[in-house]
Amino acid sequence: MGNTLQDDALPNNNTLLGADELVLNMGPQHPSTHGVLRVKLKLDGERVRGTECVIGYLHRGVEKIAENRTYQQFAPYVDRMDYVAAVSNGLGYCEAVEKLLNVEAPPRARVIRTILTELQRIASHLVWLGTHALDIGALTPLFYCMREREEILKIFEKYCGARLTTHAFRIGGLQYEAYDGFEKDVERFCLDFERRIQEYVDLLTGNSIWIGRTRNVGILNAADCIALGASGPILRAAGVKWDLRKAQPYAAYDQYKFEIPVGTNGDTYDRYMVRIEEMRQSRLICLQAIEKIPEGAIMGKVGKVIKPPAGEVYHSIEAPKGILGYYIVSDGGTQPYRVRIRPPSFINLQALDKMVRGHLVADVVAIIGTLDIVLGEVDR
């Protein structure tokens, strides 16, 4: 992220008391850096004059591991990048390999994938909302969010046996048929969820302290977003209506009606409103999808040994945190020659320095929260 601590020096350091700048080391052990992010802050009093992100504490070399695993073997590894949204990671990877193989998952698999991915989006946004509110000092929403997330994780558990790193999808479709009562569980959750969202909204949206802490904090306008490559809710909060689910439909998104919420100001409050509205839209997508899940096979025509033809493919999906892209190069063997992942968290984190300059220490945690980063994905 560049050594930004050096520039943007104070014009006048010779104050009466000889007060110097303070370099505060935030993290990697800090309650609200969302993992092992380390931010060096250059402070003038409480005002932030510059930041430097130090990342890599959770680096596992996921991309390198891919080169020594078969295509199927690598699928569970992607779950461990953004472990808050494992299902979305898996969807991106499976679809990328399918594109490489030139096969398509059957319609039933695609609809079930869509349902699970949208549930995962809700779960991911719930974790974001809870921790973001906690960073800003509201203790209670976290537990409400976790309560609803638990319902989603239960559906995952019933579907594939795992709750966090699900490995729910397989290349070519699904391994598991939807369990009996799957639709009913999803429907029950979705019907209940509208009321639950209202609880968070009641606690936060109109709260003057919340508005004071989030409005005009960490503004990132559309031009900056695009220049920095920021995507997902951050981009949409700046007013850019760009969502891959609409722009380049994948899975079964072209069959459903939903809105892309956008903000105007690109501040923390707008990002909050965008994500809240996205949860509502995800809920609507789920409700539409369970109405009619097509019958048929759940696995496409994929052999036991996956041996894609030599070539390369780039496939990106709209993960909860932004655009998640997989670039896979095949040399015709059973293992990928190279896998390059475009993680939304890593790229969104670049915006941190631009967003926090001139703000106070308290805003730094609010802005880290609003970026919705997961360090597993940043460091990979």
Partner 1 sequence: MNPTLHAILVFLQTWWVELTCGVVIVAVVPLVAGYVVLVERKLMADMQARLGPMRVGPHGLLQPIADAVKLLIKEDIIPDEADKFIFWLAPVISMVAALTSMGAIAFGPSFQVARDINIGILFVLGVSSLGFLGIILGGWASNSHYSILGALRSTAQLVSYETAGGLAIISGLLLSGTLSISGIVAAQEKHHVWFIFLAPVAAFIYLAASIAETNRAPFDLPEAESELVAGYMTEYSGFRWALYFLGEYANMIVVGSVATTLFLGGWLRPFPNVHWLNWLDFLPALIIALIGVYSIYRAGKQPVKIQTGFMWAVALACFAVAFVFAAPWLIQLLHKFGLAGSLSLDFVIPGLNGAFWFLLKVSAYIYVFMWLRFTLPRYRFDQLMHLGWYILIPLAIVNVFAVGVAMLLEANGLNRWLAMILTLIVVLASAIFLVRWHDRRTESASTASLAPDSYAG
Q: Given the rule CB under 8 A, which residues bind partner 1?
A: 22-25, 30-32, 46, 133-140, 142-144, 147, 203-205, 207, 209-210, 212-213, 215-216, 219, 261-265, 267, 269-270, 273-274, 276-277, 280, 360-365
Closest residue by Cα to residue 350 from 211, 227, 261, 205: 227
DSSP 310-322: SEEEEEEEEETTE
β partners of residue 342: 325
Q: Considering beta carbons, is residue 157 or 199 the nearer one to partner 1?
A: 199
Distance of closest approach, residue 271 Cβ to partner 1, in angstroms: 10
β partners of residue 174: 169
Distance of closest approach, residue 329 Cβ to partner 1, in angstroms: 40
Closest residue by Cα to residue 132 from 364, 375, 379, 376: 364
DSSP 80: T
Could you tell me if 39 and 54 are in contact, meaning their C-beta atoms sit under 8 angstroms apart? yes
Q: Considering beta carbons, is residue 276 or 317 the nearer one to partner 1?
A: 276
Q: Considering beta carbons, is residue 188 or 301 the nearer one to partner 1?
A: 188
Distance of closest approach, residue 123 Cβ to partner 1, in angstroms: 17
Distance of closest approach, residue 245 Cβ to partner 1, in angstroms: 17
Instruction: Give the C-alpha separation, 11 to 43, whole Å.
Output: 14
Q: Considering beta carbons, is residue 148 or 318 the nearer one to partner 1?
A: 148
Distance of closest approach, residue 16 Cβ to partner 1, in angstroms: 16
Residue matched to tokens 């709209």: 318
Closest residue by Cα to residue 152 from 200, 201, 84, 92: 84
Q: Considering beta carbons, is residue 30 or 342 the nearer one to partner 1?
A: 30
